[in-house]
Every structure is written in structure tokens, then in C-alpha cells.
Structure 1
């Protein structure tokens, strides 16, 4: 351990704390029971509990009591910062998962919050990981590691001052974090609001005057009055769209093509030159265009499946497991059966359709069917309504969305960087605290 300020000492936790103290209680006493999942991570110092009789939990579990610190000893809970100061336990006592180590401070020597903040330091976590014992997946810190852990210890008055300074600084940091996370939460909402405005004409309403949308009676009821199977479900048909717009179905503005998978037992069907996309390839995918997935098909694989080669600018829409991933083909490719793909007509913007489908996940889910998992059929996908302005307006809307989304992406990057910087500031303050640099 590095040099310490004058008047400080180096002590082991075993010298100033009791490790894993035991309770002796009446069997009928109600106490708190804390499984690992009820302890918050990231050193939030939050937990909840169940209520049990002491007779039910006194054996085979870790004993707990008010004013102790409980820290997870098993990976990954240890690295994730599952650590709490126990207070307000039922009748002051409890029990918890065996994967906890409990530390009871000698209040005449060390403050519990001083220990808690020491456990928050990156150096403590690194030292713990370095001293893990056990087999893969069952790695833990030991009771001996905690007992023999050295801690720089100033006088109680200095400990109190350090804790006060940390808590004051952390309160300001946590307030900043709350504001940033509020912004972070609102970014998807802003995107959703922009998309709603885009497809109700509000992004371009300064160039157009709104009027009541024409009814879709002719689309829902046939020439002879018979009811057709599709009923428009999109809320846009109940609101206003600008003059010159129409409500079309996807089947009217393009050709719907499903995908397929050749036999996976025949290796000759794969590892060719034909890009082949599955829904898994779009999981977490944030780009608008996609050129290839993890696997390619061979010419034989394409021929031996129901997959069809799609031209560039085709729109890919995952139709099951899950519904709602969207991308545009940047080159010729095909997909598996988890997609309903649209090859748009020449007078429709692929990017416009992309943004509409990005906005229409709930609409698609509303017409999906199935028991094991929901899937939208090619017929239902073809009948999804889309508000369609002239091509020039489509392009204008796309340009506005892309500009505003780019600004929101920059804002998201700024927020993420700021959150990381605040976390680093916390770590820096903790390191300073235990070097004596805060007092």
C-alpha cells in the first residue's frame, strides 16, 4: 500500500471489524431475508427484503444485522458492486444468500461508511478479482481476503470529514447524473415524436395545408358492399394528413417478398458469395443500411430455399422473433424466413418507407398472429396502411428526419460521455480520499 498521511495507520479489516458475526435469536422472531437479486448493484446502497421466521433462515444462510455492511463475494456480483449498509431490517436482524460477506465495524475505531466507500474504490475491486478463488463461474473472494485486507485508517474525526466531503460531492454528481439520464430517456421519445410528426405531415406543414383524410371505405368495403378481410388499424387514418397525401397499403407501393433458409445440414448451401440476413444480424444494429450478415448463401443454397435475391434499396422488416427490426439493403442480398421484405416502386423513397416502418412496430404487432410466437404474414404486411405524400415531400421528410436524428445522436454521445466522466470523477474522488488528499 502506498504511503499514508501523518497520523494515519494501516490496519486490516479484521483488526477493526468483526467478519461474519452470528445472531442468536428467538426462533419465532420475524426477520429480514435478502436474496442476491434484492441487492442493487453499482454500489447504490439499496436493497429490499422478504420477511421470514428466524427458525426458517438461521441455518444455511448468512446472518445479518443492522449497521453491518454486506458485500457480494461471488463473480459477477462482486464486480457489479452489490454492496449495502444494512439498516431498518425487520426487528434489526436478518439472513441472506450465502454469497455475502458481512462486516461489522468497531464504531470506536472505524466508521461503517468509511468502509463502504473503501469498498467502492476501483483498487479494492481489482485486488478482490486478483484474489478470486474457485472454479470458472464460481469464483469468489474469501473471508480471509476481507479479514486480512489492509485499509488506510485516519482518526475518527478525519474519517467523518472524508465521508462528509464524499457524500457532498457525490450528491452533486448524482444530481447531474439524474439530469443526464432524464435527457437520455427522452431521446427515444423525441425520435418517436419526430416520426409521428413526419407521418402526420407536421414536419412539412408550413408548405402544406392540412385537411381531413379521405376515408378508406373503398379499401375496406368492396364494390358490391362485401367486407374485405383487412380493416385499417393505424391511428393516422383517424387524424389529418396534408392535402395531396394519400393513404396507400404497402402492397400498393411495392412488392412483398419473404425469405427462406436452405437445409443447414448441407454445408454446400452456405459460405458462398450471396449475403443472407437473419433477424439476429439486426439485433442491436443501429445503421440504416446493411450489406451482409454473419453468413452467406451459395448459389446452390439460394436455389434450394424459398429465399429470393432482393435488389439494392429493398426494405427488410423482421416479421417474427422479434417483429420490427428494419434496414435497407445496400446491395443485392436475401433474408431468411424471419422477414417480410418490400421492393418499392420507382415513385416511392426507400428511406421514407424505412422511417415509416421504424415508427410502425406496434401497428405490425397488432396484425400479427400465432401461439408459440407472433408473426406477421405476407398478406397482413401487404395491407399495412402508409400515409404517402408526393415523392419530393417524401425526400424532404427524410432529409429533415436525418438532420434531426443526427443532432439527437450527437446529444446521446455527449450524454454518454458525460456520464462516463462523472463516474470517473467519482472514482478519482474515492482514490483521493484514501490517499488523504481530500483533507
Structure 2
């Protein structure tokens, strides 16, 4: 077990067990409370993680909650005991309650401080990162259901200052935290504004505003989207004829190649719902710029075709939603063997494919499967979009799909009952802006330069927020070591306070 305190405590302090200064999970006299009394009700989501904020606005009748819930009263400290709520810091001091009593989740421990013990001092100690970290190491139970036990809390040591010094410490913590929280609020506001700016930037990019001057300067060189689409159609026809000839002459295995299908034009009423784009640009469907090969747009297999029992420790990697949202295709991977991969070829992924989440609010997070990555297989909630990179810049279209311009469209086509998802056929109905390759490349350079500035600012904001969090814990560490406020020789020492509590509660 870790050492309880790394520094020697002031002479007037004492190290004591939690059960000596607070009642752990006290009971109440339920017989004296009428069933019709309206009382406060606090489910786990009503306690914010890491802030001490608690919402006691929900109410229920006492008769509805007297069994199967945890009772508490004003001034108690609620301590979430289950993972991950405990690790995330779901602790709070209970404020004034409806009916004078409250009930909440059975996953709360209740700490009721004895007279002379500051409820706020107790809250700051048990919610500190160091306390939670050690409590995490002493949890019991199975993975996903691990809890801090009552016996552990009962014997947990903590440093106890004199009663008056507790008050001075709490006042100083709250003074410093007030200033710190103002700075944190400003940083989070800047993060939110940066997020908005990114979307404004993407909006301007795909409405042609970032390259407006470039188009003016290069007006005599520009290939229109219509001309480019004609070239794509000709190229598709030529490739099909070549593939067909090879197949007819026995040089290609497999089924007979399918002729390219003509795609229907986007209806006029649909175009009126889309933003205005520059002359020479065009709204298109994804199939118009996908690679000319089977399953260029595809999804993961249905659940029955890929089961957990198919997973292996090595082999062909599987791609999950988390890989896309975290832009991480190298960590915590699961695999299938080669024979299973052969069955799931239509769901396979190659390096540089666009990978898109089929679910979310909204769905459509998009990432590029990194260059040099091995062939992989999608899982059920993912979609791939293999672009014809000769005509469509995959990096640019990754940004496009991640913009609100496309996210809104994806949100409208997300269907389902238990879980809303995008189907392949519905994905093929979205509209993408399309324009000449030269302008695509110029726009990508403009966009990457501006987004790089955003990334640098985001990193600076994140770093500063991390420093603020570290400073908060440093303040608490000093507080509980007797280094935050000076000791007063006139204070009654903690030993006398403990003796008084012992005499009163052992009588």
C-alpha cells in the first residue's frame, strides 16, 4: 500500500482514520417519515465529474424511494464508489434538500462528518486525485463493476488539521480555485470558439471562398466539373471495355465485369437545399468519384458474419468505430485469420481508403486509413469510401466529409429504431461539391495551412488546461500537508478535537 502522507504533518495536526471523523453510510429513521413526503432524488448523472456540482432538483415521494436507494441529508459528502464514476471524481457536498432528506443511487457512499469536521475539507480530500488514485488501486469486484468498499473507506487514513485551520484551508482553496476556474472557463470558451472557427473555415472552403482569387487568376486554365465528369465517364467506359476484353479472352478470372451504370442527376429541388457554389463547380453523388472496382463504397459485415469468436491475436486487423474517431489504427487491435478474411473480402479495406463512422450524433466522422497499412476488414458500424484519386483528392474529401456541410446531410439519412445508422445506399445519396483537380490541390494547401494554425492553438489550449488541472492538485497537496495556510498556535489541536468526538460518539 502507498504511504499515506509523504510529508510530516504540523504538530497541531493528526493522522486519523476516516471512520473517526465521519459516519460511513449512516442510516435514517424511515418510520418517522410519511410515504407522501416529497424528497430530493439524486441519480448518478446528477453529480458532475470533477466539479463538485450536484443537481438536487429532481423529487420523488418518500414511499417510492425508501427501499432500494441510498439516503442522505444536507451536509453529507456523496462519494461515487463504482468505476468509472469514482475515478472521474463524482463527489459532492449535499446542499439543502426538499423535505430535509434525499435519496440517490446505491452506487454512492455517504460520508457524514462529525461536529468540528468541515464538510468541505472532507469533500476536497476525498475528491482529490491522489485519494482517488489510491482508492482505484484498492477497488474490489469484476472488471467494469469494481467498487470502493466500505471497509476500505472506514480505515482510510487522512490528515486532520485543527477545526479553525480546516476553515482557513477551505477558504484559501476556494479563493484559489475561483481564480483558477475563471481562467479555465476562458480556455474552454476559446476551445469552443476554435471548434466553431474550424467549421466556418470548412464551410468557406467548400463554398469556394478560400480559392476565389485563385479562380480569378487562373480563369483561362480551369477545367469545369462538367468537363471533368465527362472525362471520368470516358475513362470508366474504356476501363470496362478493357476488363471485358480480358475476361472474354480468358485473361481475367471471376465473374463477367459489369458495365458502368449511368447515375441520375441531382434533382432541382434538392439543389435548392444546398449552399451556392462557384460557377464551374458541381454537386455530385459519391459514386461519381469512387474507384472503378467492386465494393469501392462498402460497409462492415452483418453481426452474424463476424462474431467475437472469430477474433484472433494476430492476422488481418479489424477496424472499429473507435479506430476512426481516435485516428488510431495501431493500438489495441483485434484480428481475424486469412480464411475468414477471404470470406469477408467485400468488406476489406486498403491503405488510403476513407473510413467513415455509420453512427453517432451526428454520424460521419471520417479518417484516412494510413499509407502503408496492411489490408483490413471493417466491422459493422463503419463504412469505406475508396476514391478515384486521379480525379478526387482524398485528403480534401476527408475534410469535406468532416464538415457540417456533409454532417448535416448524413444526420438526415441516419435511420433505425434501436440504433440509428447510415446504410450504403443512403450514403450514396449525399451530395459532394466537385471541381477541377488543380483547384482541389490548391484548396487543400490553403486548408491545411489554416488548420495547422488551429491545431497549434488547440495544443496550446490543451496544454494550458492540463497545467491548470495540475495546479489544482498541487494546491490540494499543499493544503493537506499543512503548507497552504499558516498554523495558529491559539487553535485547539486536532488531538483535542478527536478526543471530543470520541467521547461524544462512544458515550
Q: Deviations over 1:165-198 (max 9, x none)?
A: 1001111111222222222233332222111111
Q: Deviations over 1:290-319 (max 9, x none)?
A: 9xx854785x77776663988875x43548
Separation in 2, partners of 1:152, 1:407: 47
Q: What's the CA shift for 1:62?
A: 2.9
Note the aligned Cα RMSD (angstroms). Answer: 4.1
Q: Deviations over 1:222-255 (max 9, x none)?
A: xxxxxx6843677787544334434444444444
Distance 1:209 1:79, change over 3 A: same
Distance 1:203 1:152, change over 3 A: same
Matches for 1:388-427 after TM superposition, within 5 Å = 388-427=434-473
Structure 1 residue ranges without an equivalent (≥5): 220-227
Aligned to 1:222: none
Aligned to 1:4: 9
Separation in 1, partners of 2:314, 2:77: 58
Aligned to 2:46: 38
Separation in 1, partners of 2:320, 2:269: 25
Aligned to 2:234: none
Q: What's the CA shift for 1:35?
A: 2.9
When the two structures are superposed, what TM-score results if normalisation uses the length of structure 2?
A: 0.68
Give 3-state SS (helix, strand or coil) of 1:307's partner.
Answer: helix
Matches for 1:18-417 after TM superposition, within 5 Å = 18-24=23-29, 25-27=32-34, 28-48=36-56, 50-107=58-115, 109-133=116-140, 137-208=144-215, 230-231=266-267, 239-255=275-291, 257-259=296-298, 278=319, 280=321, 282-286=323-327, 295=335, 298=338, 307=346, 315-318=353-356, 320-321=358-359, 324-328=364-368, 330=371, 333=375, 336=378, 339=383, 341-344=385-388, 346-359=390-403, 360-367=406-413, 374-377=421-424, 384-417=430-463
Separation in 2, partners of 1:136, 1:295: 23
Separation in 2, partners of 1:416, 1:317: 27
Q: What's the CA shift for 1:143?
A: 3.7
Separation in 2, partners of 1:86, 1:127: 24
The answer on whether the counterparts of 2:324 and 2:355 sit within 8 Å (CA) in structure 1 is no
The answer on whether the counterparts of 2:26 and 2:112 sit within 8 Å (CA) in structure 1 is yes
Give 3-state SS (helix, strand or coil) of 1:241's partner.
Answer: coil
- Higher helix proportion: 2
Distance 1:236 1:345, change over 3 A: farther
